[in-house]
Amino acid sequence: MTKTFVVSGCASGIGKHMALVLARAPQQHNVVMLDINGAALERIVQEHGLAGQPRIMARQHDVRDAQGWQRIFSEASERYRAIDVVLNIAGYLKPGLVHALPPEEIDRHIDVNVKGVMYATHVAAQHMKRQRHGHIVNIASLAGIGHIPGLTAYCASKHAVRGFTLGVAHELAPDGVAVTVVCPDAVETPMLALQVGYEEAAMTFGGGRGLSLEEVERAIMHVLEHKPLELVLPVPGTGRGALAKLANAFPALTKLGLKRTIAQGRKAQSARK
């Protein structure tokens, strides 16, 4: 069945991968592709033969623009009628110890990762409540379950995304609207690559490798089919999902394996340089 998807962060990483997967699907889905980098988004559309296709709507959009979300949803609903799925994938990360983070970096993490998701969910909820169906998928992180020294601003933002999403899911359930939070481990994307040069980000690499985009794709496709409340996606064989949940329940336990995890992460970091 053909559906209409709104996807943010489509110029790179998970967002780009998922937008292309959906655009190429045999169901001939309508895909609204969004990214703040309009030039990169246009190149992707051109390079993958999507330009001029009526079922593809590519727009430059800053997720921090609340009114912009209203315009995007209005245009998409006018063009495609129902909006079936929203994938809030766009995100921001810059490692740094809290005392050294400039205030503007704190703002950027909250504005992009938290407000961006909240603005999109706010508008999507309005549309989906009226149509009495829909699915909102918000990408958080394992960092939104556990706690990671060196990535505290990112960690705080993803905890907010997870808490917000879990609460909204209960709000919208009576209207037939599903809401899911996906909490992946590190993923092999430009966001992971930028962390290689930051000693503070060592814990990110404690799993030895990042998830592939194909692994994330399979997980999201599972979510779209089964609509769980939450999906935790660690690197297979590492137990990092269970460890994050344990750390969330018993924060003091984190210190027991902290030095070992950081040491493993630094070794993996060095191997990437």
Question: Whole-angstrom distance between the N-terminal and C-terminal Cα of the chain?
Answer: 45
Number of domains in the chain: 1
Alpha-helix residue ranges (DSSP H) falling in the chain: 13-24, 38-47, 66-80, 103-109, 116-131, 152-172, 190-193, 213-226, 240-249, 254-272
Amino acid at position 55, single letter: R
In the block, tokens 């995304």 appear at 161
How far CA 261 is from CA of 113, 192, 223, in Å, comes to 26, 17, 30
Confidence band of 38 (pLDDT split at 50, 70, 90): very high
The pLDDT tens digits of the residues spanning 89-104 come to 999 999 999 999 999 9
Dihedral sign, Cα of residue 124, residue 129, residue 130, residue 132 = positive
State the CATH number of the domain containing residue 61: 3.40.50.720
Query: What does the pLDDT read at residue 254?
Result: 81
Question: Which pLDDT does position 206 carry in this prediction?
Answer: 87
- Each residue of 123-166: pLDDT tens digit? 999 999 999 999 999 999 999 999 899 999 999 999 999 999 99
How far is residue 154's CA from residue 157's CA, in Å, rounded to a whole number?
5
Active site members:
154
Report the pLDDT value the prediction gives residue 39, as an integer from 0 to 100. Answer: 98
Could you tell me which residues come within 8 angstroms of residue 150 by beta carbon, excluding any fewer than 6 positions away? 95, 96, 97, 198, 199, 200, 201, 202, 203
Confidence class for position 259, pLDDT limits 50, 70, 90: confident
Q: Is the pLDDT of residue 63 over 90?
A: yes
| pLDDT number for residue 256 | 80
Alpha-carbon torsion 24, 91, 241, 239, what sign?
positive
Residue 39 pairs in a beta bridge with none
- Please determine, for residue 261, whether its predicted confidence score (pLDDT) is greater than 90: no
Q: List, as one string, the DSSP characters of 22-57.
A: HHHSTT--EEEEEES-HHHHHHHHHHTT-TT-TTEE
- Phi, psi (degrees; rounded to nearest 5) at 127: -70, -45
Quick check: 111 and 66 in contact, CB under 8 A?
Answer: no
The pLDDT mean for the chain works out to 96
Domain that includes residue 105, residue range: 4-272
Across 6-20, 37-51, 226-240, 253-267, least confident range: 253-267
| Residue 14: C-alpha distances to residues 114, 180, 189 (Å) | 18, 16, 7
CB-based burial label for 190 (10 Å; 0-12, 13-18, 19+): exposed
Secondary structure of residue 232 in the 3-state scheme = strand
